[in-house]
Amino acid sequence: MALPARADALLAPETSQAPEGLPVELVFDAATEATRPGNPNLVIPPLFVELGGALLFAQDDGIHGTELWRTDGTALGTYRLTDLCPGRCDGVLFGGLRPAEAAGGLLFFAGDDGVHGLELWATDGTAAGTRLLRDIVPGRASSTIATLVAAGAQVAFLANDEVHGREIWMSDGTPAGTRLVFDSVAGPEDGNLVPYAYCNVLYAAGSSGLWRLDGTPAGGVQLASAEVSPFASLENEHLAFLPDCRLVFSAAVANDWEPWVSDGTPTGTFPIADLDPAQSSGPRSFVPWGSEVLFLADGPTGPPGVLSIFTTDGSPGGVTEWLPPAGFEPSQFPGARAVVGDKLFLAVFEASLGVELGVWDGTTLTVPLDIAPGPADGLATFGSQGLSLSGSWFVALDDSLLFPAQDPDQGLELWRSDGTPAGTYRLTEIGPGPLSASFDNLSQIRRPVTLGDRVFFRTWDPLSGHRLWTSDGTALGTGAIADLNSQTPAFFARRSQFPIFETLGSACVVSTRHRVLFETEVASRSVRRIYGTDGSPASVELLSEALTEESFLPDASCAPLNDDVIFFGSDGTDHRLFRSDGTSDGTESLAS
């Protein structure tokens, strides 16, 4: 496959060309392993969004910061699409629940080019077709774009223009068509609403109740009053839609959380049932189930603290409860459930089995295989049983489920199940032997995505860094597509977080009479080190080392003075102002 336009240029190493005839030599390699900043248990998976037969996602390659990438499922078709913020700074923000959305043939996303702050951008899937739509808050300040949702050919999102507070905006992909559409709270206070859309109906839910919007500033219709606290939480955790487009969701009156339904009108918005008159039933984990919606909740007939399975058709009182077998508890881990055909796959806990894969067919709950024999957990989780964090994700592919699971012999690997014992098996061995593969966690934030007949997901290991994988549900059809951040630079330019110092440019890189001082960050990018060198490998000397988050002015924090350099650094105990000629013997503290 030929590389798309500009792909070869984007993938080319960014190096400086030495004058002809002069030798080029690597003086010092400060970082030799792939890095993974932060707590590995709190890694948020990438958001994959389909656009034009390919997937777009955000990734840090170790050189350019977090930028927009594209993949069509092949190595040649996987490449970095943008460098919105040139250099090491992040040009794309894909944090939160819905930081990007496809609508009308465009991908809308939150971007920062280092000039306009975090604002709304759009791309048609090409570098040339990537553009800033509107600088809502002019200059470096940001409107903090977030929570994007497709509404027909347009996208709704949250933004703060510093006049109306954080409110709901819409965009049709043009600067003129990017506008505020609902100001729920007059003045600069935030509206605290979250947009959702389905069947060409735009909803907004939050502290001021449930609303239906038509895309015009005066087009808000309140469906439920502010006394009702609707879902405004994890998508696909507290809401789902019936085939007739009615919304089924969790809402509370006086902290009594129960299932509600709305057809988009005030009279058609009401509680379906009070599942447990003695207390809040706390409905959650809503998923479409044939002509109904299925969810988990605390019922009046089950043991205390054990969730029951409910189904509803959305009619008043139209709820059916199903109790799991004695000793079995449906898990609260949000990412660990999926509907495949006429089966619900979900994580279940039983004392003698641990947390394992369960299958419910509408009448019977079974555990097809004890993946980790005995009370050990076969599904990867961390935290206590009641903590809604999971290292497992469930994704439907054709007539089966793909999911990470762990056993004592192979560790955490990719598995497949059709709901039967014979059809539940380990698919691949990403980590050799008992060495576990490291899958992205926090599956309640987002899970992998399918494109055609393939699923895409990301793993991490200390040698290759992040890798993009794809699987068609077979061992032969499962493999890594590309290394995403195997580059591990320690020496790079950074944009300052302090606007007053922007004109100074990069991190500390400055010369004395005979030597050069340069700043690096290594390991988890939290250790700041300043070295001196005369250009030969043997001359590299460590002059200062400190944790970045504790350093004073970590960016652009050095300057030449006569034949020396002054910089803020550490002597191993505290932070001080130093003078240096570029050697360790010629480096001294000036003040504490």
3-state secondary structure 238-270: CEEECCCCCEEEEEEECCEEEEEEECCCCCCEE
Q: Write the pLDDT tens digit of every residue in 563-588.
A: 888 887 776 666 778 888 888 888 88
**Hunting for tokens 């919105």 — which residue is that?**
84
Amino acid 12: pLDDT: 34
Decide if pLDDT at 333 tops 70: yes
24, HSE (Cβ side, Cα atoms, 13 Å) = 6
Q: Which residues fall within 8 angstroms of residue 261, CB to CB, at 6 or more apart?
A: 242, 246, 247, 248, 249, 268, 269, 270, 272, 312, 314
Structure tokens at 198: 């389905």
Supply angle C-alpha 483, 484, 489, rounded to 5: 105
Decide if pLDDT at 495 tops 50: no
Amino acid 549: pLDDT: 46
More confident residue, 485 or 324: 324
Decide if pLDDT at 392 tops 60: yes
Nearest to 4 by CA among 57, 107, 79: 79
Using an 8 Å Cβ cutoff, are 198 and 187 in contact? no
Largest Cα–Cα separation, the chain: 85
Supply angle C-alpha 96, 102, 105, rounded to 5: 160
Amino acid 397: pLDDT: 92
Q: Write the pLDDT tens digit of every residue in 206-265.
A: 888 899 998 888 788 999 987 887 775 555 578 899 999 999 999 888 888 999 999 999
Alpha-carbon distances of 532 from 23, 521, 528, 558, rounded to whole Å: 20, 14, 14, 13
* Mean pLDDT of all residues in 40-59: 84
Reported in sequence order, the residue ranges of 9-80 that DSSP labels E, i.e. its strands, are 49-51, 54-60, 66-71, 79-80
Q: Write the pLDDT tens digit of every residue in 401-451.
A: 999 998 888 888 999 999 999 999 999 888 777 767 788 877 667 778 899
Structure tokens at 446: 């987002």
Looking at the chain, how many residues does it have? 592
Amino acid 374: pLDDT: 94
Nearest to 338 by CA among 396, 290, 389: 396
* Mean pLDDT of all residues in 339-350: 93
Q: For residues 140 and 501, what is the distance between their CA atoms, to the nearest angstrom?
A: 13
pLDDT band at 551, cuts 50/70/90? very low
Using an 8 Å Cβ cutoff, are 73 and 502 in contact? no
Chain-centroid distance of CA 93 in Å reads: 9
pLDDT band at 490, cuts 50/70/90? low
Structure tokens at 136: 């809502």
Q: Write the pLDDT tens digit of every residue in 190-211.
A: 888 889 998 889 999 888 889 9
More confident residue, 385 or 144: 144
Amino acid 346: pLDDT: 92
Q: For residues 370 and 476, what is the distance between their CA atoms, to the nearest angstrom?
A: 25
Supply angle C-alpha 50, 53, 400, rounded to 5: 70
Q: For residues 148 and 195, what is the distance between their CA atoms, to the nearest angstrom?
A: 8
Q: For residues 474 and 471, what is the distance between their CA atoms, to the nearest angstrom?
A: 7
Q: pTM, whole model, 2 decimals? A: 0.79
pLDDT band at 489, cuts 50/70/90? low
Nearest to 167 by CA among 113, 117, 217: 217
Strands 465-471 and 541-547: unpaired
Amino acid 16: pLDDT: 38
Strands 527-533 and 516-522: antiparallel
Decide if pLDDT at 151 tops 60: yes
Decide if pLDDT at 318 tops 80: yes
Mean of all residue pLDDT scores within the chain: 82
Q: For residues 127 and 7, what is the distance between their CA atoms, to the nearest angstrom?
A: 9
pLDDT band at 493, cuts 50/70/90? very low
Amino acid 511: pLDDT: 80
* Mean pLDDT of all residues in 109-132: 94
